[in-house]
Amino acid sequence: MKAEILTIGDEVLRGEIVDSNKALMASRLLQLDVECHYQSSVRDDPKDMRDAFHRGVARSDLLLVSGGLGPTRDDLTTEVLADALGRTLEFDESSFENLRAFFERIGREMNDTNRKQAFFPAGAEILANPVGTAPGFLLEEQGTLVFCMPGVPRELSLMMDEQVLPRIADRFEGNQVVSRVRARLLRTFGMGESTLEGELSDIAKDGQTELAFRTSFPDNFLRVVARGASISEADARIEGVIAVIRERIGDLIYGEGDQTLEAVVGQLLAEKERTVAVAESCTGGLIAQKLTDVPGSSDYFLGGVVAYANRAKQTQLGVPEALLAAHGAVSEPVARAMAIEVRERFGSDIGIATTGISGPGGGSDEKPVGLVYLAIAWGAPQEQALGGASSTDSTEAAPGEPAGEGVAVEHFVFSVDRLRHRQLTAQVALDWVRRLLLGLELVGPSLMRSGGGSTPG
Amino acid sequence: MKAEILTIGDEVLRGEIVDSNKALMASRLLQLDVECHYQSSVRDDPKDMRDAFHRGVARSDLLLVSGGLGPTRDDLTTEVLADALGRTLEFDESSFENLRAFFERIGREMNDTNRKQAFFPAGAEILANPVGTAPGFLLEEQGTLVFCMPGVPRELSLMMDEQVLPRIADRFEGNQVVSRVRARLLRTFGMGESTLEGELSDIAKDGQTELAFRTSFPDNFLRVVARGASISEADARIEGVIAVIRERIGDLIYGEGDQTLEAVVGQLLAEKERTVAVAESCTGGLIAQKLTDVPGSSDYFLGGVVAYANRAKQTQLGVPEALLAAHGAVSEPVARAMAIEVRERFGSDIGIATTGISGPGGGSDEKPVGLVYLAIAWGAPQEQALGGASSTDSTEAAPGEPAGEGVAVEHFVFSVDRLRHRQLTAQVALDWVRRLLLGLELVGPSLMRSGGGSTPG
C-alpha cells in the first residue's frame, strides 16, 4: 500500500513555518506499517492543488491531505478537490448544527463564512472534529482513499488517531494484506549512537522486528518495531526484543515514549519520598527549570541557588573564600562544598551542584572551556527538613538506594558549544539523581570525552 | 521565476524527523523575491528520485535539491540525477584533494567510501562545502537550474548563503527581471497579533512594501519586505516603513532578526553597567536560565534563588514567616519582599521576583491558577556590590533610567497552560528590565488578561 501526504498553505511554501504536519501524519501511518512514498506541499493555488490531487490519486493508494479546510477565502481544499474529481458540493445539515453548537460552547458568534465548512464533495464520509470548526472528510476515487484534514496540528493529530487510522486499519482487516505492528520508543542517555548501534547490532534481524536509532541531543532514542499476524503476536515479539535490550543496556534507558528525564526523576523522587535542592553555577538555573517544568514538582523540589558570581557562592552557599582562592570556582572542592551546603541550607535529602566553563570565554590552559565539575550529596534528611515535603521514614534508605550519607564528585570535559555544554551537564546531573535513587553506579556519559580520574588540561 | 524544493531521505518520509530544510531554503529564496511553488520529499529510492528530478526540470525554472550527497550506499542523489539527465559521472581531482585536506584537518582517517563524493555529473559546477565532506553542485538542464546540496542543516545553510543565492542573483542581474528586495524581522512583545495587525493595517499598501505577522509564543514577529529597482531604493523604502512602525509601537519592538529578549536585556545591562539578580518561585529558574544562555552573562548576572518551597523563601531570602502566613506566598507583599531581598543579598543593581500559580494544581477561588505577582526593585548598588562586576559610577542613573530607588509590583492572570505560564511570566520579567533600563513604562502584556489594579479572584 502506497501512501502519500500533501499539505496545503502559502505559509509552508514561503518557509515561514516549519511544517511538522507531514512528519506527524507519516509517523502515525507507520504505526499501521503503512509506508509513505511521497510528501509534497503546494500553495493555496487552485491549479497547483488540482495537479497535486490528480497526481496523488493516480500514483498512490492512500492520499492524506492537510490544510485549506478553514472558513476564509484562502481555504480552497474542499472546492478544488470536488472540482478536480468532478463532484458537486453538498450541504450537510448535521455538520452545520455541530458547527453552531461548537460556537455556542466556546461562547462566540458564528460567522457567515463558517457556513462554508458544512459543504462537502458528493459521496464524502464526514470525519468529526471535536476540537475545531473544520470537519474532515474521506473520499474514494479510482481505488484511492483521500482523507482531507485540518492543518491545525492539535486537530489533525486527534483526527488521525480517532478517525483516520481506524478506517485505514479496517481496510487492512478486510484485505488481510498487512501484518499488525507495534512500535515503542526507548529513551537512552549516556552512550553515543554508534556505540549503541554496535552493542545491539545482532538484535532484531529476524525480519519481523526492527531497530532504528535517532539522536536527540543529549539523548539517543531507540525505536523498536515488531510485526505479527495479530496484535498479540506483535506484542509478544516486541516484549521479547525489549527484554534483550534491557538486559544489555538497561541502566541507560531512562524512559519510554514522551517521558523526559526530569519527569522520570520527579516520579522517582515522589515515589521514594525524597527531596532535592540544586546549586548551579555554569548551568545557570537550567536544572531547576527542568525539574520545575514538571507539574507537581513542588512535592520534591525545594529550591536552589544560582551562584553565578563567586561572591554569590560565598554569601548564598557559604563556600569559604579561602577555598575559592586556593582552587578556583571550577574545582573539585568547590563543587563538593556547593552540593553539601545546598543540601543543608534547603534541608533536602539530595543536593546537586555544577560548576564549570561553558564558554565561549573563560578557559585557560589548566582549565579549558568545556571543563565541568558535578557533585551530588545525599543522606538522611537534615534538621531543616520540611514537615510536609519529606517523609518521616526517610532516614531509612529505600531498597536499591545507598544507605547513609555520601558525596560523589566527578569532572568532565565536554567539547561542545555553550548551549550544549549546559544541556549535557544538566542531563548528567539529572541522570545522577536517577542513578542514585535506583542504586546504579554514578557514571557520566561515555559519548563525550570524560575527564575520568585524570587531571584536566 | 518558478522555484521548487526537493528533499531526499527515508527518515523524512517515515516522519522520524521534522524536515526543516525545506523552510530554510524557501525563506532564503524569498530574500531574492523568488517564490517557491512546490515542495516535495522522496525516499532514497532511484525510481522515485528520477521521477521527482524529471518533474522538477519540466515544471520549474529553479530546482533546489537537498540530501543524498553523503558517502554511504543510501546516498544516491549524484548517481541518479546523472542517470536521469543522461550524463556521465566525472572524477574531480581538486574536490578529492579538498576532501583529503578536510579529513586531515579534523584528524580523522579518510574512508574509501568518501571517494564517491569527488564524482559529479558531466557539466556540473562544483559548490564548495567548507564545513563538511559533501560538496554541492549546479547543473543546467533545459533552462532549469538544478542545485544539489547536502542535507546537514548547517552545511546547507552556509551553501545557500555563500554559493547558491549569489548565483541566482547573478542570473537576475543579467535578465533584469526581478526587483531588488530587502526583508527584516522585527520582534515584538506585549501586544496580541490581531491588535498589532489593527494598529498597522494602513501601512505598506503601496504594492512595493509588505507586512506579515507571525506569532512565536510569547512574542509576535513582524516581517517587513520592501522592493525597489535597486538595493538602495529597497533599503530607503524599508527604512521608511520601519520608521513609521517604530513611531506607533516602538516600545514593543525589543529586537530584530534572531536577537532574543534575553540577549537584548544582556546587552543593555552590559552597556549601562548594571547588574541583576533574580528570586524565582513559579518560574523555577527559567529567568536565570534564559539570562545565562547568553555568552558573557557573568558580566551582569550575579545569580539567583529558586525559592520553590515556602521555607526556602524564609531561609534563602529572609521573607518573614508572618508575611507568608498573613498574605500567602502568592501575594503582593511577598513578591515585593523577594525582589528587595534578592537585590540586597546579591548586591545587584536590579532585583526581580516572581511568585504565582502556574498550575495545573494549586489554585483556589481567591487565587486562581494563572495568577502571578511580578516585582522589580532597583536603585544604587548595595554595599555588597562586587568590585569587578558593577561599575564605580553606577550610583548615577544613566539617561532614561529612573533615578533613585524603587520597587514596582504588578499582578496578572495568565490563562494559559503551565509551560506557557512560566514562559510568559519570564518574558514579562525580562521585558521589565528592558523597560526599566530604557526609561519606558513598566507595563505587562495586553495580549493576556491582566489583573490591572483590581483584586484577583
The predicted pLDDT at position A311 comes to 92
Confidence check: pLDDT of A392 > 60: no
Q: Would you place residue A175 in the very low, low, confident or very high pLDDT band (cuts 50, 70, 90)?
A: low
The predicted pLDDT at position B71 comes to 82
Indicate the residue of A283, A288, A359 with minimum beta-carbon distance to B284.
A288
**Taking residues A50-78, what's their average pLDDT?**
93
The string of DSSP codes covering B160-222 is IIIIIHHHHHHHHHHHT-S-EEEEEEEEE-SS-HHHHHHHTTTSS-SSSEEEEEEEETTEEEE
**Pick from A202-211, B389-398, B402-411: least confident:** B389-398
Neighbouring C-beta atoms of residue B423, cutoff 10 Å: 20
Minimum Cα–Cα distance from B12: chain A residue: A23
Cβ distance B384 to A278 less than 8 Å, yes or no, reads: no
Whether residue B300 contacts residue B389, with contact meaning beta carbons closer than 8 Å, is answered with yes
Indicate the residue of B15, B293, B296 with minimum beta-carbon distance to A419.
B293
Cβ distance A27 to B16 less than 8 Å, yes or no, reads: yes
Confidence check: pLDDT of B221 > 60: yes
Confidence check: pLDDT of A403 > 70: no
Separation between Cα atoms, residue B136 and residue B156, nearest integer Å: 9
The predicted pLDDT at position A226 comes to 87
Cβ distance A14 to B22 less than 8 Å, yes or no, reads: no
Conformational region of residue A68, where left means phi above 0, alpha means psi within -120 to 50, and beta covers everything else: left
**Taking residues A423-448, what's their average pLDDT?**
89
Top-confidence residue, A216 or A75: A75
Confidence check: pLDDT of A399 > 60: no
- Burial of A251 from C-beta contacts in 10 A (0-12 / 13-18 / 19+): middle
The predicted pLDDT at position B61 comes to 94
CA neighbor of A238 nearest in space, from A166, A185, A309: A185
Q: For domain B180-256, which architecture applies?
A: 2-Layer Sandwich (3.30)
CA angle at B320 for the pair B314 and B324, rounded to the nearest 5° = 85
What is the CATH topology of the domain spanning B261-438?
A: Maf protein (3.90.950)
| A19 shares contact with chain B (CB less than 8 Å) | yes
Minimum Cα–Cα distance from A287: chain B residue: B285
B78 three-state secondary structure: helix
Confidence check: pLDDT of B216 > 50: yes
The predicted pLDDT at position A388 comes to 35
Distance, first Cα to last Cα, chain A: 58
Which B residues in the span 99-118 are in contact with A, Cβ-Cβ below 8 Å?
A: none
Separation between Cα atoms, residue B182 and residue B238, nearest integer Å: 7
Cell of B289: 536560565
| B298 shares contact with chain A (CB less than 8 Å) | yes
**What residues are paired with B228 via a beta bridge?**
B180
Indicate the residue of B20, B212, B303 with minimum beta-carbon distance to A305.
B303
Separation between Cα atoms, residue A197 and residue A440, nearest integer Å: 23
Q: Would you place residue B403 in the very low, low, confident or very high pLDDT band (cuts 50, 70, 90)?
A: low
| B73-B79-B81-B85 Cα dihedral, nearest 10 degrees | -160
Q: Which of B120-134, B393-407, B439-453 has the highest mean pLDDT?
A: B120-134
Confidence check: pLDDT of A76 > 90: yes
Q: For residue A218, say if its preceding peptide bond is cis, omega within 30 degrees of 0.
A: yes
CATH code of the domain made up of A2-175: 3.40.980.10
Work out the minimum CA distance from A14 to partner chain B, whole angstroms.
5
**Taking residues B41-64, what's their average pLDDT?**
96
Cβ distance A14 to B37 less than 8 Å, yes or no, reads: no
Top-confidence residue, B154 or A382: B154
Whether residue B47 contacts residue A2, with contact meaning beta carbons closer than 8 Å, is answered with no
Cβ distance A360 to B26 less than 8 Å, yes or no, reads: no
Over the stretch A79-99, which tens digit does the pLDDT of each residue have?
A: 999 999 999 999 999 999 988
Report domain extents, chain A: 2-175, 180-256, 261-438
Separation between Cα atoms, residue A47 and residue A68, nearest integer Å: 14
Calculate the average pLDDT of chain B. 87
Q: Which of A219-233, B195-209, B316-330 has the highest mean pLDDT?
A: B316-330
Q: For residue A153, say if its preceding peptide bond is cis, omega within 30 degrees of 0.
A: no
Model confidence pTM above 0.90: no
B306 to A27, A346, A347, B301, B374: CA distances (angstroms): 39, 11, 14, 15, 14
Whether residue B261 contacts residue B189, with contact meaning beta carbons closer than 8 Å, is answered with yes
Confidence check: pLDDT of A404 > 80: no
**Pick from A342-346, B72-76, B218-222, B254-258: least confident:** B72-76
Which B residues in the span 398-437 are in contact with A, Cβ-Cβ below 8 Å?
A: 418-419, 422
Please enumerate in sequence order all residues whose Cβ is within 8 A of that of A239, keeping only pairs 6 or more positions apart, or say none. Answer: none
Q: Would you place residue A17 in the very low, low, confident or very high pLDDT band (cuts 50, 70, 90)?
A: confident
- Burial of A359 from C-beta contacts in 10 A (0-12 / 13-18 / 19+): buried
Amino acid at B169: A
Which A residues in the span 332-391 are in contact with B, Cβ-Cβ below 8 Å?
A: 345-347, 359-362, 384, 386, 389
Question: A with B: how many residue pairs have Cβ under 8 Å apart?
Answer: 253
| A183 shares contact with chain B (CB less than 8 Å) | no
Work out the minimum CA distance from A319 to partner chain B, whole angstroms.
15
Confidence check: pLDDT of B290 > 90: yes
Cell of A253: 534507558
DSSP state of A167: H
pLDDT > 90: what percent of chain A? Answer: 62
Confidence check: pLDDT of B399 > 60: no
Q: Cα B260 to the chain's mean position, in Å?
A: 6
**What residues are paired with A278 via a beta bridge?**
A304, A352
